[in-house]
Each structure stands twice: as structure tokens, then as C-alpha cells.
Structure 1
Amino acid sequence: YLVTHGLADAVKRLCRDTGLGAKVYADKIPFEGNTFALGREMDIDPVSAAMNGGDDYKLLFTVPILELERFRRDFQTFDIIGHLAQPEAGAALVTPDGVELPLRAQGWPREDEAELTDN
């Protein structure tokens, strides 16, 4: 999935298309080195910006657990930020202290998938 309308939007599309839930771990989301300092300066939460910001142009994908080691060998530059879950788990952001927050796609509405945006 191409992340163009924030990570939450891409995760919710993935859940919809697979019929599964997902857990994204906030402390596993990759950030550039100065992101948190800039966020403090601008009074913006970097995790919220990553979840709902646009124009990220990153890829979100899943790998079967049995293929993970081979995938790590073949493609070394990727980050594991979460995993798929049972459908009833829904899509959740897991905070560093283990609290699960429902994912809300608050980015700019996609014309083709407006039902994914919670605003």
C-alpha cells in the first residue's frame, strides 16, 4: 500500500482489504533524527503527524511470518512497525506503555475511499 494520506489511512485500507485487524506500535514507527525536536518547536506530535499527514510516499506491506527471515536477508532496508491481528481487534495504535488506541484516519479524504476517513 502506498502511504500518501498518512499511515492510519494505509493501515485501515490494508485491514479492509484483508478482512483482518492490525496493531501498529508507536515506538516502531521510523522517524528522521530531528523529527521530535522539530515537532516540539512547532508544537506538533510527530506520531500524530505520521499517522495522519500526507505526501509521505512510503510503502506499507505485509510479509508472511514464515518468509520473514528470507525477506530480511533479501531486503535489508525495511522496518517492522506492527502485525496483522484478528478482525475483532480492529486497527490500533499501541503506545509504548501498551495502551491500544483505535486508529483514526484523519488525513485529507481520498475521493475513492472517503469511508476510511473518520473526520
Structure 2
Amino acid sequence: MNDILQTVSQELGKSVPNLLGAFAILLGGVIVALIAKWLTQTLLSKTDLDNRIAGWIAGTNSASAIANIEKWIASVVFWLIMLFVLVGFLQALQLRAVSEPLNDLLKQIFVFIP
């Protein structure tokens, strides 16, 4: 019984730093993604670019369409960053079977971005 407890405590001792590192990556990534979302939305609200995009997509220059475009673009920025964070989180946990398909998805997404 003592050997089992010693083995379990050794294995937990090995995995706790990985868990802490993974959660630090996740927490830091969420904070960075939220800041990037806020910055994107703030910058788009101060420029005329979002108005042009909203007018081009919706065919109008209504204020509600403009606000929706700002939120939509900021959300896309947030989720792209979160995909990178999720891959880093899963790799820190050494879950390669889950992180590799997400990494391939990111590669396919960024092939189309100039």
C-alpha cells in the first residue's frame, strides 16, 4: 500500500508543473485575446474602415450594421487568438492527438490570409 501511495505521489509531482504551465498559458492567452478584442473594436470604432465594410456588406450605412461589423471583426480576432492559445494549452498538457488537428486547422486558415 505504501508503494502505491509513493508511486502516485511521484506521478502527481511530475504532472503538476505541466498542469500549472498549461493553465498559465490558458489564463494568459484569454487575457491577451480579450485585450486584442477590445483594441480591435476600439480602433475600428475610431476609423472609417468599418463603416465602408458595413456599407459594402449590408448595402447601407446604418449605425446598427456598423456596430455589428465592429463586434464581428473583434470576435474573429478573439477566436483566432484563442485557437492558438488552445493549441499551446493542449501541447503543454502533452495531448498531441488533440493539438495536431487544431494546428493543421490553423495552417489551413492562414494559407488564405495574405
Q: TM-score, normalised by structure 2?
A: 0.23
Greater relative contact order (Cα 8 A, min sep 6): structure 1 or 2?
1
Structure with bigger gyration radius: 2
Structure having the larger proportion of residues in strand: 1
Q: TM-score, normalised by structure 1?
A: 0.23
